[in-house]
Amino acid sequence: MIGIKPTAKCTKTLLYRYPGTYDYRLFDVKSGKYLGKINMDKREKELYIKWLKICDGEQRKGYGTFLLDFAKKMSEQMGFNGRLELLASILPGSLNTPPHIFYRKYGFTSNNRKMLSKIDRCIKNNKQLTSEDPQIHMYYEPKKSKSNIITLFGNFIKRVS
């Protein structure tokens, strides 16, 4: 099992992995209630999230963030430096909770600048996307700390001098 610290909201959960897969199910330990799942695929340069679903009535309780943190940790341990990729889309029955905004707030971005601008406006104005909004490929690229960049830049200057 990957070593990940549970968030305060997820301390009483169990993450179950189906053998031989990257398919994980999240359960409440006390009640045994199924809370959601994440299904991932190992790619060449990143961990691809095929499916992340939190059960109705369980959104906004930290479970989605917990699963993304878990995926990021897995990506790090696989040598992908925390890189993630996914396809955000509005599924039938999920109009009230489209994932685009959630992923964007988490730190995902995309090469589709027009759609990102629309998502950012929705976040700023506290609005939802509509069912006409398309699917969008999004990716998570961990930010490098300033100190690492300064160190790299400093080392480069020393080599050039």
Distances (CA, A) of 113 to 99, 120, 137: 17, 10, 11
The whole-chain average pLDDT of the chain stands at 82
* Tokens found for residue 78: 């696989």
**CATH code of the domain covering residue 77:** 3.40.630
Total domain count for the chain?
1
- Confirm if 35 and 54 have CB atoms less than 8 A apart: yes
In a domain, 132, yes or no: yes
pTM for this prediction: 0.79
Q: Which of 103, 107, 85, 98 is nearest to 133 (CA)?
A: 98
Range of the domain at 82: 40-160
pLDDT in tens, 32-82: 899 999 999 999 999 999 999 999 889 889 999 999 999 999 999 999 999
Q: Helices (H), strands (E): how many in the chain?
A: 4, 6
